[in-house]
Amino acid sequence: MPYDFDRVIERRSTESNKWHKYPPDVLPLWVADMDFASPEPVIRALRERVEHGVFGYGAEQPEFHQVMHERFLKRYGWNVEPEAMVLMPGVTPGNNTACRAFGGPGDGVLMQLPVYPPILRLPDNVGMSRDVASLTRGADGRYTIDFDAFERAITPRTRLFLLCNPHNPVGRVFTREELLRIAEICLRHNLIICADEVHGDLVYSGHSHVPIASLDPEIEARTITLHAPSKTFNLAGLKTSLAVIPNRALREKFMAARVDMVQTGNILGYTAMLAAYRDGQPWLDELLRYLENNRDFLVDYVRARFPSIEMGIPEGTYLAWLDCRRAGIPSNDPFTFFLESGRVAFNDGATFGRGGEGFVRLNFGCPRALLVQGLERMTSALARLT
């Protein structure tokens, strides 16, 4: 079946936050929300479920467990049993629940900066301290892990590590070797690993996503893995995700922390997730080819037209991390500059924590025509600086 990812879908007539946050003359290339229609099997499953007409409380069915079991086994060689699967209304609620379950006021949570703002904000939500290890940016824009600095960031109060892999915003897909070193340090310091792997299906040629819990039974026993169809199949508004927690003691503590607060996702979210993982792979295969072509076009454009802006090549996600610090932008504030002078909206790098100042995050999960339009607006804005 051909998929038309070039089709521009009008979204301002909907409740889209992406398209309503800024005035109508601003092109939104910010939040991690693609401008593509979700797979047809998902739309069909939702239509059939809505036509049933009854929307009472729900519970996952054996088919769901089987679909997810087969997916994890086929893609990662990871044997996930049904009892390890815990439905949640989103990955961010999962991160928050993990901190509530395994930390408390005064305890520390370790993270790698820069990082997705809801992860950065998380310690404040639960009264924990933020223990940070900065990723190291190379001359080519690629980030690596300073493992000595990572271990030094752990203190006696640190209780868990929040892993973001593939990493948002820097686009790294950490290798098996990197993950093994991370896990070895975490296990030696008796930390729980909470792995936000929401972009795990969005990985490009030459790279492979490895769930950190799949590396070894000992690592698995200390890990909560958060997985969702939201980014992969553009279902973020349906608020559904999956926590994989094979260790029974960890799972019971996690579930106790969410009681009467962040219970399972909604019926339509569950319907969409099952259909996406069961029937959406052909669509996803085509999407990845389209996104990789968009990524390559973006890299070539930036390097040819914006010599003062640097970007590494994203290994995963549909997010580009642009270093604008040498572009001569007033106040080293590229977010405001491109919004006001180019009428194009990105995510402000400063909101991603230390190491994000002077950067913007660009979402290339859109039809090529919109990406080109955004780049042309950037070109015009930068031209006015000279």
State residue 30 phi and psi, 5-degree precision.
-115, -95
How many whole angstroms separate alpha carbon 185 and alpha carbon 189? 6
How many whole angstroms separate alpha carbon 10 and alpha carbon 20? 12
292-321 per-position pLDDT tens digit: 999 999 999 999 999 999 999 999 999 999
Which CATH number describes the domain made up of 44-279? 3.40.640.10
Q: 17-39+281-383, which class in CATH?
A: alpha beta
Question: Cα-atom radius of gyration of the chain, to the nearest Å?
Answer: 21
Decide: 152 and 187 in contact? Cβ < 8 Å. no
Sequence ranges of the chain with CATH classification 3.40.640.10: 44-279
Sequence ranges of the chain with CATH classification 3.90.1150.10: 17-39+281-383
Mean of pLDDT values over 49-77: 96
188-235 per-position pLDDT tens digit: 999 999 999 999 999 999 999 999 999 999 999 999 999 999 999 999
The total number of residues written for the chain in this structure: 386
Amino acid sitting at position 46: L
How many whole angstroms separate alpha carbon 73 and alpha carbon 361? 33
How many whole angstroms separate alpha carbon 229 and alpha carbon 247? 23
Decide: 238 and 272 in contact? Cβ < 8 Å. yes
226-254 per-position pLDDT tens digit: 999 999 999 999 999 999 999 999 999 99
Distances (CA, A) of 315 to 118, 214, 240, 292: 22, 20, 25, 9
Predicted model pTM: 0.96
Distances (CA, A) of 40 to 2, 44, 228, 240, 280: 11, 6, 18, 18, 8
Q: How confident is the model at residue 1 (pLDDT cuts 50, 70, 90)?
A: low
Could you give the dihedral angle defined by the CA atoms of residues 229, 234, 236 and 241, in that order, rounded to the nearest 10 degrees?
Answer: 0
Q: Does position 386 have pLDDT exceeding 90, yes or no?
A: no
